[in-house]
Amino acid sequence: MAIVGVGVDVVDLERFAESLERTPTLRQRILTAAEGELSLTSMAGRFAAKEAFVKALRAPSGLSWTDIEVVVDERGAPSFVLSDLAAARVAELGITTLHLSIAHDGPVATAFVVAEAA
């Protein structure tokens, strides 16, 4: 395995909440319908994960934030469900594994992504 990319992002919860309030359409632009129903902290964590994904893959312009969805398994471990340009970029880079970690502490949410190829 070879590391193709690494990305990290931090989201300030207060600033994120202000952005969602100030721009009513923002939630639909950056989150899927399921993600948009979550708590503020969870939404911020998912946005941080998407930002970290974009950084790790040097994602192309035109990528829609909703092409990247963060889901959790029965144990709460997060992972990505990708479509359209996000899925195409993963295939283009030969990525076989995406590792995702999300953490929340006080006023911030953070996410870290490692992309591996065989």
Active-site positions? 55, 104
DSSP state of 63: -
